[in-house]
Structure 1
């Protein structure tokens, strides 16, 4: 059976701009275009706003993420949900000794880098755009160039939509849009996070609350780390950071494989840690594997491809460094501003101008992620990271 083809044209009033991905980056761009009265459509593979793992807590930075929310007219909505009390970063060694306790706001109310759950931030952004602009359950299979160089979108459903003036890839690490711009792919860092949760019903919860309280705590011991992060509901996410082969932890974890994973973590990665730290491995639940990938630094040098643009992780996937969502939301600001400046009849020039700074930002972002990853896994344990923070390198 032939696949369905939907042609975008002025006569059918189909949007000139397609955004692939309804994460914070894509939705920030959508909101900004909405305010500029530029038509668009957002395609998202999730079936709904609540159908996927929403991720953990995000710290939103003043000059980028917060500035983007202000420009989007969403600052008041953000303030109602932001957790300034969780703007706290502590560092411990594997024996539980504290080496750093800091806040980025210097004790000033509503300053610094407040936290917000990713799902909450996403909902704020979703509530700011018309529901009909989001096409849920739309998994992009490929981007092709049809009709005099205009991009066409092929979906796994068999449908093809063509005729857009610009397709913006905010579709994350394994971006289908990026593959039409550059053949560079993310590379495995050699590190994996095993994510788990400690809920209020967990026997470990009270001791975690008493020891770590608000914010994010990092326990560092060279090749192995633990990161304990408070969430908006008061629970904690724990990230067990290990140096391991790419597929060391399976994607699907049943009860038997979780127990095997616990034993492996305790014997192979945390055998000499304090017993209270080992209790995280013993008692945390809802395990999930998160191998850490990043784009090569040298990937930030592509030539503009007419009809296509990238933003967020699709453009500059980096190792965790606290900047990812902030950098992504600022990409949206810069792209929207360039579109407003150049207009819909000059979108290629708008993208070309946007990419000049994007590639510079992206290179720095990837480099920062690599640097922080090296500090987090430094052979001296907490010492290297603490020194970097004290010298304001981060």
Structure 2
């Protein structure tokens, strides 16, 4: 890779950082990635990439053709179920839409997070990713550079730009602001059922090709088909932050925990919805969801910035998180590329102004996505959550 006047560190190796890395590499701009995990993590289920979001970023990274081979446009369908089990909308059957071959990427094709990560990792030279490097602190170095101090007592020095893509509890963010995420009011259990075609054909048929949602007052059930043949299900509650620890359910015993959770909090739901949760037996992870404030921003600081969850942590109830993160990466990557390729002496430009220009666009974009997420979350957890979603679907599709 050719030399560059900039020394760049990306902290984290999730979709945001790897999209940025792919774009920088596409422009022959060197960088180093530092990731706390010893190897790639397979977190999350399937992702829908929007034409003006993740899809656009993959085009900028030169990965569009590969994406079209690995994504699942056929999974861009929804099923909506009322709390009592009545199906209000079924994109697999009565409400299915005909989509021509030339239109299949105009919507929001699904791609498994693990597949997206593998694709992005394949676009980045392996020697540029340093696994098992947990960041302890970013500190000002010599001149206008920054040094990275790691938990293993090692130090990397002299970075002109440090990009925090290190998620909810970003260490890089502390250099820009004291603001930390706060509890969203929602906790959940994440469940998996593996190889459902062979082990539970009913589950395949019930969830359908894409996603299945049931929204209601203070609780939701959401399930999605994954390309590896599994189903991932989330049973969510609006509860206090201490719920997971204080509810009295022994999460170390998944079978009894699942049964108790359903009986206590979803006992009046339709039998099929309860079965969806109870028959997802291969994994149970309790989670509390956190978010940054709507409109979160910081004062620009030369040589440091944020992308993805580090910049605008949201709950998943609008499905925009990874798209927003990949757009961040695209905008920042193309700004850096334009700066480097235009020459450091370009009149009126400095690295600091590139970062500030990026953040000027980032803040309103992130605020819009965060506001949309809050509105959606409140709708989903309302008494008429499922009915409201179906109204929007019928309006959008003219049904």
What TM-score does the superposition give when structure 1 sets the normalisation length? 0.89
- 1:335, CA displacement in angstroms? 0.4
RMSD: 2.5
1:175 aligns with 2:170: yes
The aligned counterpart of 1:5 is none
1:348 aligns with 2:347: no
1:156 aligned residue (146, 151, 169): 151
Q: 1:106 to 1:147 in 2, by over 3 A?
A: farther
- 1:330, CA displacement in angstroms? 0.9
The aligned counterpart of 2:179 is 184
2:294 aligned residue (293, 297, 314): 297
What TM-score does the superposition give when structure 2 sets the normalisation length? 0.88
The aligned counterpart of 1:4 is none
The aligned counterpart of 1:388 is 392
Q: 1:183 to 1:256 in 2, by over 3 A?
A: closer
Q: Deviations over 1:41-87 (max 9, x none)?
A: 011112112xx343210001111111111111111111111011101
Partner Cα separation in structure 2 for residue 196 and residue 73 of structure 1: 35
Partner Cα separation in structure 1 for residue 353 and residue 369 of structure 2: 24
Partner Cα separation in structure 2 for residue 105 and residue 162 of structure 1: 55
Q: 1:129 to 1:97 in 2, by over 3 A?
A: same
- 1:247, CA displacement in angstroms? 3.6
Q: 1:268 to 1:333 in 2, by over 3 A?
A: same
The aligned counterpart of 1:6 is none
Tell me if structure 1 keeps the 8 A contact 2:218–2:237. yes
1:375 aligns with 2:386: no
Partner Cα separation in structure 2 for residue 263 and residue 232 of structure 1: 27
Q: Deviations over 1:344-366 (max 9, x none)?
A: 84211110110111001110111
The aligned counterpart of 1:29 is 20
1:141 aligned residue (132, 136, 139): 136
Q: 1:60 to 1:313 in 2, by over 3 A?
A: same
Larger deviation, residues 258-267 vs 27-36: 258-267
Q: Deviations over 1:299-320 (max 9, x none)?
A: 23x1101110111111011111
Larger deviation, residues 163-172 vs 275-284: 275-284
Q: 1:255 to 1:241 in 2, by over 3 A?
A: closer
- 1:387, CA displacement in angstroms? 2.6
2:306 aligned residue (301, 305, 310): 310
Tell me if structure 1 keeps the 8 A contact 2:196–2:229. no
Tell me if structure 1 keeps the 8 A contact 2:218–2:238. yes
Q: 1:47 to 1:389 in 2, by over 3 A?
A: same
The aligned counterpart of 2:65 is 76
Structure 2 residue matching 1:322: 3-state secondary structure: coil
Tell me if structure 2 keeps the 8 A contact 1:104–1:113. no
Partner Cα separation in structure 2 for residue 104 and residue 29 of structure 1: 36
Partner Cα separation in structure 2 for residue 384 and residue 155 of structure 1: 48
Partner Cα separation in structure 1 for residue 96 and residue 179 of structure 2: 35
Partner Cα separation in structure 2 for residue 217 and residue 168 of structure 1: 36
Q: Deviations over 1:215-266 (max 9, x none)?
A: 0010122211111100011210000011122242259x98744245324422
2:243 aligned residue (237, 240, 248): 248
Partner Cα separation in structure 2 for residue 128 and residue 338 of structure 1: 20
Larger deviation, residues 80-89 vs 107-116: 107-116
Tell me if structure 2 keeps the 8 A contact 1:204–1:283. no
Larger deviation, residues 66-75 vs 103-112: 103-112
Give structure 2 stretches of 5+ with no counterpart.
345-349
Partner Cα separation in structure 1 for residue 333 and residue 141 of structure 2: 25
1:224 aligned residue (200, 216, 219): 219
1:59 aligned residue (38, 48, 66): 48
